[in-house]
Structure 1
Amino acid sequence: MGDGETLRVAVIIGSTRDGRVGPAVGAWFTGAARRRDDMAVTLVDLADFELPSRLPDTATAPMVEFAARIRWADAFVVVTPEYNRSFPASLKQAIDVAYDEWHAKPAGFVSYGFRSAGLYAVEQLRGVFTELHVVTMRDTVSFNLLDDGVEGGRPPPSEALDRAVTAMLDQLAWWGCALRSARTTCPYVC
C-alpha cells in the first residue's frame, strides 16, 4: 500500500428490496476482496439501517451510525442492481445521509441486472459521487443475472470476472492510499 497501513474498505449493498440478490452479490465480492492482504473489508447492508424516507432536521440514530461507517472507510465499493435504468432509491437516500464523510475518497462499483448488467445504474452513480467529491474507479465489476451459471446472485467462476475484480480493486487500493495520504497531509476542502 505504500504507507504500511491497511486500506479500510466498506462494501455497501445498495438494495433493500424483498427478494433481492444484493446480499449474495455482496458476499461473493467481499470474499474476493478479503483475499487481499492490503485491505480490511467490511460489509454494510442498507437493509440493516432504518433510514427515514424524509431527511429530518436532526439526524436519527441509524443515520448517525451509517455516517460513522462511511467516515470509518478509506474507500467504498457500491454493490448495486439496476432498476429502470438507474440505481435504487434506498441507495440514493443512504448516500444523502452522509456528506463530508464521502469527500476525497474513492469508490468502485459492482453492478448486476438484466441485459445491461447494471451499467446504467453505475453511470448515474458516477455523477452523484462526483458531486460528493468522490473519485470513481474507471473499471467496474458487472454481470447479467440472465447469464448461464449465475445462481442467486453468485456468478460462476471466470477468468474475465477475476480480472475485472483485480483491476477494480488495484485501482481502489491506489486511489485509497493516495487520497488517505493527501487527506492526512493536507485536509480536503470543497
Structure 2
Amino acid sequence: MMQDNLNGRLRIAVVIGSVRKPRLADSLAAWLERELAAIDWLDLDMIDLASVSLPMHEMRPGGAAASPIAGRLADADGFVFLVPEYNHSFPAPVKNAIDWHFTEWAYKPVAFVGYGASGGIRAVEQLRTVFPELRATTVRESVLLPMAWEHLDADGRFVPPPGTVQALHATMNELRTWARALRSHRIADLAGRAWTS
C-alpha cells in the first residue's frame, strides 16, 4: 500500500535474475541481502525468479494474467535487479518476468547489480532501454561485479572487492531519492488500468 509519509520506510524488492543451477547468484544474493538488511530506511523483499512459475504461454498483454509475485511487485516502492550477463545480454527469464507485469513497475525506480566477465554492464545497459516503456525510471548509479566468482571465500561467500560496498550505498541512496519522489506522485488508481497492446 502506498504511504504518504515521504520520510517513511520504503519497500524495496530485490529481483534475483538467474535461474541456473548451480548459480553464482546464490552467493551474490546472500551478500546483497546482508548489506541491504542493515539499511535502516528500507524493508527488503527478496524475489527469486528461480522459485517463481511464469509460463510464457500464459502471459497476457499488458500484464493482465495472474502472477504469484504481482502483489509483491505492486507493493514495492523500488527495485534492485541482481542480473547476470549471458552472451552480451540479460537472461530470458528476466525479460519474461518484466513482460508478465506492467502497472507493477510504473512510476518506480529501478537499480541494478550486474555481474559477469565484464561486470554485467551490457545486461544492465540493455535493461535501461526496457523499463522506460513501462513508465519506470532507472537510476544512474549501479554496481558492476566483474569476475565475481574470483571473489568467493572457501565457504562460497562473496567477499566484495574494494569500492563495491561504497558503490552499493551510492546506488541505494539514489534509489531512495527517486523512490520517495515518485511515491509522492504515483497515480493511485494506476493498478486498475487495462492495456491491450
| Category of TM-score, reference length = shorter chain | 0.7 to 0.9
* Partner residue in 2 for 1:135: 137
Equivalent residue runs for 1:1-190 within 5 Å: 3-57=6-60, 59-60=65-66, 63=67, 65-114=68-117, 116-145=118-147, 148-151=150-153, 154-183=157-186
Once residues 188 and 21 of structure 2 are traced to their aligned partners in structure 1, the CA distance between those partners, rounded to angstroms, is 44
Distance 1:185 1:50, change over 3 A: closer
Count of matched residue positions in the alignment of Structure 1 and Structure 2: 185
Distance 1:96 1:56, change over 3 A: closer
Once residues 145 and 159 of structure 1 are traced to their aligned partners in structure 2, the CA distance between those partners, rounded to angstroms, is 14
Given that residues 110 and 140 in structure 1 are in contact (C-alpha distance below 8 angstroms), is that contact kept between their aligned partners in structure 2?
yes
Counterpart of 2:65, as a letter, is A
Once residues 28 and 128 of structure 1 are traced to their aligned partners in structure 2, the CA distance between those partners, rounded to angstroms, is 27
- Point out the more displaced range, 33-42 or 177-186: 177-186
String of CA shifts for 1:113-158, please: whole Å, max 9, x gaps: 01x1100000000001111111101111111226743458754244
- Alignment gaps of 5+ in structure 1: none
SS in 2 for 1:77: strand
Given that residues 14 and 46 in structure 1 are in contact (C-alpha distance below 8 angstroms), is that contact kept between their aligned partners in structure 2?
yes
Distance 1:127 1:43, change over 3 A: same
Once residues 150 and 45 of structure 1 are traced to their aligned partners in structure 2, the CA distance between those partners, rounded to angstroms, is 21
Counterpart of 1:168, as a letter, is T
- Alignment gaps of 5+ in structure 2: none
Counterpart of 2:131, as a letter, is F
- Point out the more displaced range, 10-19 or 20-29: 20-29
Counterpart of 1:110, as a letter, is V
SS in 2 for 1:54: helix
Given that residues 24 and 149 in structure 2 are in contact (C-alpha distance below 8 angstroms), is that contact kept between their aligned partners in structure 1?
no
Given that residues 7 and 176 in structure 1 are in contact (C-alpha distance below 8 angstroms), is that contact kept between their aligned partners in structure 2?
yes
Once residues 120 and 33 of structure 1 are traced to their aligned partners in structure 2, the CA distance between those partners, rounded to angstroms, is 24
Once residues 99 and 113 of structure 1 are traced to their aligned partners in structure 2, the CA distance between those partners, rounded to angstroms, is 28
